[in-house]
Amino acid sequence: MTLILDGKLVSKQIREEVAEDVQLLIKQGVTPKLTVVLVGDDAASQIYVKSKERACAKAGIISETIKYPSDVLKQNVIDKIKELNNDNSVHGILVQLPLPEGFNESEIIELIAPEKDVDGFHPINSGRLTSGINDDYFVPATPAGIIEILKRYKIEIPGKHVVIVGRSSIVGKPAGMLFLRHGNEGDATVTFCHSKTKNLPDITKTADILVAATGKPKLITADMVKPGVVVIDVGINRIPSKYSEKGYKIVGDVDFDEVSKLASAITPVPGGIGPMTIAMLLKNTLRAVTVFGKKE
């Protein structure tokens, strides 16, 4: 029997835990606040930001979204981030990616105060995660969600061969760093694969835990996995579908129907890592208050 790793269910538990902690903070006089900066009209980003707003509201976290048109002057965005850095009522700042053409994403991300960078994308946060010499950092929400769902389903990580397909700064790379950390939630042997990897199936077949984060619909097929593998599908891809009213359906990077026949456990899409990401963002926002400051 294949275990379906239900991100919807687990993320609900996490959101409830966060909501309880938020109430404790509110009693102490601090209401956590997340400010999202959204530039342009990328359709998927609009949907993600709406979900983040809804999740914050349910957890008792104040959320504010500052929207700019795609032709906004870069300086306006820069000034806003500096203002948010200095605003003691704002605990977390998130600039939704991708930014429109003409923006240098790393330039913008590096402006965010690291102690408010709830995405964990600032080089200080990613550097501390990678170096392991300091625990004062934020872990990006999607990779954090991957580890958390495995933990909640009591799937052992230490000693396992984790193969990560995809090397993005948002998912693939930080996920690899988490699996590599010392301790019960890490201690894995990690292999990174990407679009230039030769003999991809030969490598993915050796995975005990396979993480697919490529943005390529159904890239991972049944002939690429070994029986008993644990599959984490991070993909959220729209493909045309004449059976859906919207004209499209959402699929992952894994051919779920076929791969799930071989896997011992697998995350579905939707309802797997997607909801976990939002729950972990809420946890990071809480951490921004409890670890990095209670000033208001």
Interface stretch with ligand GUN, choices 93-101, 147-155, 172-180, 187-195 (CB under 6 A): 93-101
Interface stretch with ligand GUN, choices 20-28, 62-70, 89-97, 216-224 (CB under 6 A): 89-97
Least distance from C-beta 283 to ligand GUN, angstroms? 13
Q: What's the distance, CA 132 to chain centroid?
A: 20
162: CB partners within 8 A, 6+ apart: 176, 179, 188, 189, 190, 191, 207, 208, 209, 210, 211
Nearest to 92 by CA among 62, 68, 67: 62
Cβ-closest residue to ligand GUN? Answer: 97
Give per-residue burial for 80-108: e unless 16+ CB within 10 Å, then b: bbeebbeeeebbbbbbbbebeeebeeeeb
User: Quick one: which of 99, 112, 139, 141 contacts ligand GUN (CB under 6 A)?
Assistant: 141
Least distance from C-beta 241 to ligand GUN, angstroms? 23
Cβ atoms 143, 192 nearer than 8 A: no
Least distance from C-beta 117 to ligand GUN, angstroms? 10
Interface stretch with ligand GUN, choices 94-102, 174-182, 237-245, 261-269 (CB under 6 A): 94-102
C-beta closer to ligand GUN: residue 217 or 262: 217
Least distance from C-beta 49 to ligand GUN, angstroms? 9
Catalytic residues: 52, 96, 119
Residue 142 interacting with ligand GUN (CB under 6 A): yes
Distances (CA, A) of 83 to 79, 90, 105: 6, 10, 18
Q: Pattern 167-196, binding to ligand GUN, x per CB under 6 A? A: ---x--------------------------
Cβ atoms 255, 210 nearer than 8 A: no
